[in-house]
Amino acid sequence: MRGYIQVYTGNGKGKTTAALGLALRAAGAGFLVFIGQFLKAASSSEHKALSRFRDLIIIKAYGREGLLKEINSIDIKLAKEGLKDCKKAILSEKYKLVILDEANVAVHFNLFSIEELLEVILNKPPSLELVITGRHAHKKLIEIADLVTEMKEIKHYYQKGVLARKGIEY
Amino acid sequence: MRGYIQVYTGNGKGKTTAALGLALRAAGAGFLVFIGQFLKAASSSEHKALSRFRDLIIIKAYGREGLLKEINSIDIKLAKEGLKDCKKAILSEKYKLVILDEANVAVHFNLFSIEELLEVILNKPPSLELVITGRHAHKKLIEIADLVTEMKEIKHYYQKGVLARKGIEY
């Protein structure tokens, strides 16, 4: 089975969540999955839930704890190391699905360049399904992707002042 | 914690998948989840994956096996019974998250009316988070929803002749 490059971008809710759903479905089919999360710490409810799939889904987070206010050299170092880690997972040919969560945002904030990201993506094994999420997908990524969905915000309760809620947003 | 009404609609990939991700995240936080799937049979990889969460996630499918070519009285009966089942789950106050997967499509095909759907939705307990997915969300649903994301297809490999693949699309 050939694997494709999927991109989930846009300003609406559901990008990382859709990638998680893909991971779940793939695991249901018995596939091995690798998830690398940029700009996030490993403290969310999804990490807890995925601990039931330790045999099938590996999830790693390459971000710092707490709210990101300003990018500093630690963020850059963590993201660059994370991208290397994802590259290793991709090239290992162990996984059927690899998710680079928020990699678009990492590019947008110059934690690594679009060229560095594309180099990793374009060297994927043919059978690997690769999913890249995050706002502000670079147009070079959209060009080479096989599937692109824009999650468009039509309405969002954040506009009503609702804060992110454990178990729903994180 | 107040619960909201979330809608995932549009022609792009990722609607059901995002709902699955939400279920996973909610289960990670220890919440009980109910998923009712319209127009689908219980044969997909997600059902298999979710069997690891039998203590937290209930998933039911109210559709027939095989491709839906024409709506008949069996589909209508199954969908109407399904909606009743979801209503019972919603009113039970047992669940923190209820997902009505493809309910928009069920309305679009007149399996039940938008009024029947809204009656169920608007009587939800205040603390319940309710998620409705599927193309062609009715404008009355969008009006009352707290969050609406349109999954917009920018590019899709189906256009290249790729068929739905086990573990990725179902």
CATH code at position B112:
3.40.50.300
- Domain contains A57: yes
B21 contacts A19? CB cut-off 8 A: yes
Residue B42 pLDDT: 83
The answer to whether B141 and A4 are in contact (CB under 8 A) is: no
Residue B131 pLDDT: 98
pTM for the model: 0.94
Residue B67 pLDDT: 66
Residue A69 pLDDT: 76
- Domain contains A169: no
Touching check for A150 and chain B: CB below 8 Å?
Answer: yes
- Domain contains A45: yes
Which B positions 34-73 lie with beta carbon below 8 A of chain A? 44-50, 52-53
Could you tell me which chain B residue has the CA closest to the CA of A26? B167
Pick from B18, B44, B46: CB nearest A17? B18
Task: Identify which has the larger pLDDT, A69 or B108.
Answer: B108
Task: Identify which has the larger pLDDT, B132 or B44.
Answer: B132
Dihedral, CA of residue B29, residue B32, residue B36 and residue B37, to nearest 10: 30
- Domain contains A155: yes
DSSP SS3 for B88 = helix
Over A130-154, what HEC string results?
A: EEEECCCCCHHHHHHCCEEEEEEEE
The answer to whether A157 and A12 are in contact (CB under 8 A) is: no
Residue A127 pLDDT: 96
Pick from B20, B129, B155: CB nearest A25? B20
- Domain contains A168: no
- Domain contains B167: no
Phi/psi at B152 (nearest 5 deg)? -105, 125
Touching check for A136 and chain B: CB below 8 Å?
Answer: no
Mutation target among B2, B22, B25 for the A interface, most CBs of A within 10 A = B25
What residues in B contact A2, CB-CB < 8 Å? 162
Residue A67 pLDDT: 66
Residue A163 pLDDT: 84
- Domain contains A166: no
Touching check for A144 and chain B: CB below 8 Å?
Answer: no
B153 contacts A149? CB cut-off 8 A: yes
- Over residues A21-36, the pLDDT tens digits come to 999 999 999 999 999 9
DSSP state, residue B162: P
Question: What does pLDDT average to over chain B?
Answer: 94
DSSP SS3 for B130 = strand
Residue A134 pLDDT: 98
Residue A159 pLDDT: 79
Could you tell me which chain B residue has the CA closest to the CA of A129? B168
- Over residues B138-160, the pLDDT tens digits come to 999 999 999 999 999 999 888 77
- Over residues B42-84, the pLDDT tens digits come to 878 889 999 999 999 999 999 988 766 788 999 999 999 999 9
Which B positions 83-122 lie with beta carbon below 8 A of chain A? 96-97
pLDDT by 10s per residue, chain A, length 170: 789 999 999 999 999 999 999 999 999 999 999 999 999 988 788 899 999 999 999 999 999 887 677 889 999 999 999 999 999 999 999 999 999 999 999 999 999 999 999 999 999 999 999 999 999 999 999 999 999 999 999 998 887 888 889 999 88
Beta strand extents in chain B (DSSP E only) = 5-9, 33-37, 57-61, 97-101, 129-133, 147-155
Comparing CA positions, the residue from A12, A119, A161 lying closest to residue B8 is A12
* Structural domain containing residue A118: 5-160
Q: How many domains would you assign to chain A?
A: 1
Pick from A149, A153, A167: CB nearest B14? A149
- Domain contains A90: yes
Tell me how far CA of residue B71 lies from CA of B76, B106, B161, in angstroms: 8, 10, 26
- Tabulate helix, strand, coil % of chain A (nearest 5): 40, 20, 40
Residue B4 pLDDT: 96
